[in-house]
Amino acid sequence: MTGTGICTGRVAAVTGAGRGLGRAHALALAAEGAAVVVNDLGVAADGAGASPGPAQQVADEIRARGGRAVAHTGDITTTDGAASLVAAALDTFGRLDALVNNAGFLRDRMLVNLDEDDWDAVIRVHLKGHFLPLRHAAAHWRAEAKAGRTPDARIVNTSSGAGLLGSVGQGNYAAAKAGIIGLTLVAAAELARYGVQINALAPAARTRMTERTFAGTMAKPAAGEFDAMAPENVSPLVVWLSSADSAGVTGRVFEAEAGRITVMEGWRPGPTADRKSRWTPAEAGRTARDLLAAAGTPQPVYGAR
């Protein structure tokens, strides 16, 4: 493996690492010296089926390049699967320093056509699939800190522009990705005392999940041109956030695509009125309109006309 060695000696677990962004992250972490637990259930784009092939192929690719890796095919949306992910790192490499939560799939529908199973499946994989690995990794790091071995640990969660702005036809996905941002902020506040930093990423890249949704903008460029939508463009920030070099950075949300990195700034108080007593409905309405007139215009939901 070649690189600067920014993650030398560290062990990282990456969920959904068999394809797309997760695969790019796993390879980039390994190239920078990390040993990698490559997790992937091997499902189809809509979450159906399972295969050990994708995770094993990426682990084999890392080893073929001179790195260290082990495949993990457990279901990280279950307690046993998430616990076994952490155990795989500890049993194989003796430690865990970074967790990259990336696993997910899509079941897109307009809200009036979105059935309960499609809602539950997407919330389970994206949101619960972030919470359970985070919870089990955090329990390990808390135990280490209480034993006097305070870790220098990192978690990188994967949100989306859909979670920041919303996306037409993706109510389940947008809700899950917005929930991941909330989870990130709470985890960063709760786990700082144990030596754990947690940040979230909203990436844009060409993957199985985006090829159909954004088919017109995801085409590969001509040979020799910069591939702006390559998943590998996102991975350098993931590697840095997983490294000890990112000390002091926690509870933040970044957008990353092509050659652009943006620090996203969330909800902040805007125009305010306080009459120090209760409003009538009509007064509240007039005041709300005045405040809205003084406020900035929100960015449009993806796909809205």
For the annotated catalytic residues, the residue numbers are 160, 173, 177
User: What whole-number distance in Å separates Cα of residue 93 and Cα of residue 33?
Assistant: 13
Query: Among 196, 195, 194, which Cα is nearest to 156's?
Result: 196
User: What whole-number distance in Å separates Cα of residue 301 and Cα of residue 283?
Assistant: 30
What's the burial of 30, exposed, middle or buried (CB within 10 Å: 0-12/13-18/19+)?
buried
Three-state secondary structure of the chain: CCCCCCCCCCEEEECCCCCHHHHHHHHHHHHCCCEEEEECCCCCCCCCCCCCHHHHHHHHHHHHCCCCEEEECCCCCCHHHHHHHHHHHHHHHCCCCEEEECCCCCCCECHHHCCHHHHHHHHHHHHHHHHHHHHHHHHHHHHHHHCCCCCCEEEEEECCHHHHHCECCEHHHHHHHHHHHHHHHHHHHHHHHHCEEEEEEEEECCCHHHHCCCHHHCCCCCCCCCCCCCHHHCHHHHHHHHCHHHCCCCCCEEEEECCEEEEECCCCCCCCCCCCCCCCHHHHHHHHHHHHHHCCCCCCCECCC
User: What whole-number distance in Å separates Cα of residue 236 and Cα of residue 24?
Assistant: 10
Query: Among 203, 82, 195, 84, which Cα is nearest to 134's?
Result: 82
